[in-house]
Structure 1
Amino acid sequence: MRILDNILTDRGSKYAVAGGPCHSADEAKSFIKELKRNKKFAKATHNTWGLICSDGAIKNDDGESGAGMIILRMLEREEVENEIVVVTRWYGGKHLGGDRFRHVQTAVRAYMDAR
């Protein structure tokens, strides 16, 4: 599991990104469970993720509507399969509007660059 913490901060919200090998929806659930063993990630407002595997394209917005689809699109563009990418957000008290989608993209890009 690779974790890149403090990718960016905007209006109090903080972002991190994590990822690693993953081959099914069940493995994705296990990955998220393992990530949340870290209390910091367990307390996050959103842990959104995307995965392309033999089960197909799977995503979970975890309350951050539309974020999972952004992650999936970026994985498809980069032709990344069997690797889950999780973007974590700690809400800072102010709504970010459409900026939150750009921040998800920035976090995924940082993960891709670190691979």
Structure 2
Amino acid sequence: MARRYPSTIAAAVEHEIVITRSRFLTHVVPASDPAEADRVITDIRKRAWDARHHCSAMVTGVLGDQARSSDDGEPSGTAGVPMLEVLRRRELTDVVAVVTRWFGGVKLGAGGLVRAYSTSVSEALDRATVLHRAALIDVSVDVPHADAGRIDNVLRDWVVRHRAVLGATSYGTEATFSVSVPHADVAVLRADLAAASGGVLDPVEGAERIVDVPAGQFPAGSSGT
């Protein structure tokens, strides 16, 4: 079975909830490493300088093996760790969550804080676009310009059916299409392109790399592996 990789999100999301007059503003932002995550946290602190707390949790690394959280003045274990647990349950990596709290004058208690911070992150993630990750083989194919439109249509349909990703097309003496393909389907792509071109097209196999795949690329019930 292919290794399963944690997912990530396509773009930053923002979400606010109010609980007993306290405002909880959540930012969930893609971050490729701890340094980038720290820059996100610093920027939010500067923009929301009047808030009492900026609690955070981050997970980074292809395997999600780097994690860190901060309660930022809230009682120990009531903010950062619950936020981190939400990221872990969603099987996400390369992401940082920051929940900024403006105190409303009413204490929520330890249980109330845990629920508030975890709910804040969970509801923000419900609004995010998830990108699954998979180890795919880069394949390129040169196509005469006269056939480029037809092959483009073939490939757009093919990648959806095979959980592959169509990359950018470059244009020179020919149109060069780039496709990232599951290892088991490289031979299938080669055969399908041969059938579509009367055996003329000759795809070139490149390196394997970890690729972000939009969640919609995976059929219902698929694990993304």
Alignment match, 2:85: 73
Q: Residues 78-97 of structure 1: matches in 2 within 5 Å?
A: 78-97=90-109
Normalization by structure 2: what TM-score? Answer: 0.46
User: Which of 58, 75, 78 is 1:51 aligned to?
Assistant: 58
User: Which of 5, 12, 15 is 1:4 aligned to?
Assistant: 15
Once residues 107 and 18 of structure 2 are traced to their aligned partners in structure 1, the CA distance between those partners, rounded to angstroms, is 15
Asked if the contact 2:23–2:101 (Cα under 8 Å) also holds between the matched residues in 1, the reply is yes
Deviation at 1:24, TM superposition (A): 2.2
Asked if the contact 2:45–2:54 (Cα under 8 Å) also holds between the matched residues in 1, the reply is no
Normalization by structure 1: what TM-score? Answer: 0.87
Q: What SS is found at the alignment partner of 1:37?
A: helix
Once residues 14 and 3 of structure 1 are traced to their aligned partners in structure 2, the CA distance between those partners, rounded to angstroms, is 13
Alignment match, 1:32: 41
Deviation per residue, 1:53-109 (Å, 9 max, x gap): 136111111112221110111111100100111111111122110211111121011
Once residues 37 and 3 of structure 1 are traced to their aligned partners in structure 2, the CA distance between those partners, rounded to angstroms, is 16
Q: What SS is found at the alignment partner of 1:93?
A: coil
Higher relative contact order (CA 8 A, sep 6+): 1
**Unaligned ranges ≥5, structure 2:** 1-11, 129-225
User: How many aligned positions are there?
Assistant: 111
Name the larger-Rg structure: 2
